[in-house]
Amino acid sequence: MTQSREEPLILDMPFDEAIERFAHVNPRQVKDEPAEYGKATPFIKWAGGKRSVVNDLTARFPKTFNKYWEPFVGGGALFFGIQGLIKDAVLSDANLDLTITYNAVKRDPVALIRKLEAHAKKHNETYYYRVRSQHDLQDPLDVAARFIYLNKTCFNGLYRVNNKGEFNVPIGGYDKPDIAQADNIPLCSTALQKTQIEYREFDTIQPSPGDLVYCDPPYHSTNGASFTKYTKLAFGEQDQERLRDFAVGLHRSGVNVILSNADTPLIRSLYKAPTWHIGMVKVPRQINSNPDGRGPVDELIITNYTTEE
């Protein structure tokens, strides 16, 4: 199964250049953060994952809200980080295979783990490229197992498709990737029971007054040679404006909105007082954008409400 939309990676250089530049990175040192015992953690690695700032984000949540919406769910770091807080949620994304995978984790974790164990047993370079070339799988469980297998074994967990929507990231060099996640997937499945998972554009969601919408779009990049320029359906400046317009519409109808984005002049010009309140957070750079060991970067957390007493 292929998808109609590409995931623009948060890289500030063309993909081939990134591969070459980070070839020296030892993927064995790219570790998942430790999980809290008994708590579901994201079942995939995802560019722009929010695990390191879950506390900064929840500190800026409104005191009360009804339904929780995440229209750019990706790896779902925030959702899994706050799973105890959430009673009812709609998670969505414009990546079709990703949303199929979420639904498989939710509905059929046991069969999915069985398929992942089969991939794990056969994993080697030849097998990786054979599975990578299977673009037309029809069974959702096969799509999900392939998606997780490739995510756990590809170069730095990157996600990239060609113009036909076919995943084309080369194999990574992990020693013992945890492909099957026999402990974590059942926990994720339990956490997802209170969610609806949908394949859709961010601006087609329909929250009600009093709901909370968290938007974590592909970040705006000031770098003219942005990687996102190379994708057919990249998330460009017009999409950033479309997102702002959508967020203003939500604000007018009484929905609580919280957004993450890069600290760039464009983003600051889109979200202005008095509607928008801007906070900043320091975020460790992702390994794929940190060639020279520079320190953390500032990101914006934007809300249409205040959390001060």
Residues that bind ligand SAM (CB under 6 A): 7, 46, 48-50, 71-72, 74-78, 93-95, 201-202, 216-218, 235
Give kind and range of the element (H or E) at residue 173: none
DSSP single-letter state for residue 135: T
Rounded to a whole number of angstroms, the minimum distance from the CB of residue 282 to ligand SAM is 17
Q: Which is nearer to ligand SAM, 73 or 179 (CB)?
A: 73
**CA-to-CA dists, residue 288 to 122, 171, 181, angstroms:** 28, 15, 24
Rounded to a whole number of angstroms, the minimum distance from the CB of residue 118 to ligand SAM is 26
Report the alpha-carbon distance of residue 93 to residue 30 in Å, rounded: 25
> Across-strand partners of 93?
199
Rounded to a whole number of angstroms, the minimum distance from the CB of residue 216 to ligand SAM is 4
Rounded to a whole number of angstroms, the minimum distance from the CB of residue 79 to ligand SAM is 8
Report the alpha-carbon distance of residue 113 to residue 130 in Å, rounded: 20
Backbone angles phi, psi at 263, to 5 degrees: -85, 90
DSSP 88-115: SEEEEES-HHHHHHHHHHHH-HHHHHHH
Q: Which is nearer to ligand SAM, 27 or 49 (CB)?
A: 49
Q: Which is nearer to ligand SAM, 48 or 109 (CB)?
A: 48
Sign of the dihedral through C-alpha 66, 67, 71, 77: positive
Rounded to a whole number of angstroms, the minimum distance from the CB of residue 130 to ligand SAM is 25
Q: Which is nearer to ligand SAM, 211 or 239 (CB)?
A: 239
